[in-house]
Every structure is written in C-alpha cells, then in structure tokens.
Amino acid sequence: MIRYARTADRPAIAKVVEAAFGRADEARIVERLRADGDAMFELVAEADGALVGHVMFSRLWADRSELYTALGPMAVRPDVQRSGIGSGLVRAGLESAPEFGAVGVLVLGHTGYYPRFGFTAAAAAQVASPFQGLPAFMALGLAAGAFAAPMTVAYPDAFGT
C-alpha cells in the first residue's frame, strides 16, 4: 500500500532510508528538507504493517512562474528491493505531483532506473543547475513544454548545492 507519509512515520522513514543507502546522509537530507519547509510531499510504502519504502518530492526555485519539483531521496528497504516497491513509489509520486502544482520533475538518479518512467538527460539539457551535464541529471515534463526553453533552477540547501 502506498500512501502519504504522516508525522508518526518519521522514525521508520529514517530507518528505511539509512538501510537503503547504507549510511545516514540521505536520511539527514530528508529531515532537513522537512525542517526547512522545502518538502512538497512524501509517500511511503507499507507491507505487512511495516514501512518498506519512501520517496520525497521537494520544491525547486526556477526562473519562471511555474512550479518544479525534485524527486529524491527514494529508498526501499534492502530485503524487499527489486520487488516493484520503488517503481510504485515513483509512479504514485509522479501522479501526485501535478496535484501540488508541479509542471516538471528533476532527478539526480541512476541512469538505468529512472528512464523507465520517462526521465531523460536530454530533457534536462537546458536546465542550468549544479548538476547540469551529469548523465544522472534527468527531467520529466508533467505539462506540455515544461522543459522546452532554457531555465535555471536552485535546489534546497539540504542538497548541499
């Protein structure tokens, strides 16, 4: 089951994120995004009453009036990875993002994973950011023309950019 995260989920989210990445850095990014008010929304996946996955979508600052979001971190507990939970979280997040006003999503992620959802480095090519030009920097437009013109985005401080 995938649902929006609740405040009570935060300790379990931190455990899932730390386990998935094998370190606490990404869990601290999640905590800081929340603390700084930069989290747009979070989703969690539950299985057998336990939290097994999490994805964060945070706001970006763009040099245009439309709203853009960053996907990540996304984490799945190691013992249930490769079972479709991560894909379910990403798909549910991409479906929810327009409800929060987002017209486009950026991700810095695995080049063998995120293209299955429509993310491409070509779509991000005109986006000036600290990650510009990296193969892992990809974009997905949720509205027509979201990435058709050059733009600049700034990431929340939690990402250390």
Contact 106, 139 (CB under 8 A): yes
Residue 103's CB is within 10 A of a number of other CB atoms, namely: 20
**DSSP β-bridge partners for residue 47:** 50
Contact 60, 103 (CB under 8 A): no
Mean pLDDT of 133-159: 96
Name the 3-class secondary structure at 94: helix
Q: What's the confidence (pLDDT) of residue 161?
A: 63
Tens digits of per-residue pLDDT, 47-83? 999 999 999 999 999 999 999 999 999 999 999 999 9
Share of the chain above pLDDT 90, in %: 99
Q: Please report how the helices 25-35 and 10-21 are oriented relative to each other, as an axis angle in degrees rounded to 10.
A: 140
- What are the sequence ranges of the domains in the chain? 2-156
Contact 55, 91 (CB under 8 A): no
Mean pLDDT of 95-100: 98
- Residues in contact with 9: Cβ distance below 8 Å, sequence separation at least 6, in sequence order: 44, 51
Mean pLDDT of 121-137: 96
Q: What's the confidence (pLDDT) of residue 160?
A: 87
CATH tag, 2-156: 3.40.630.30
| Cα–Cα distance for residue pair 125/121, rounded to 1 Å | 6
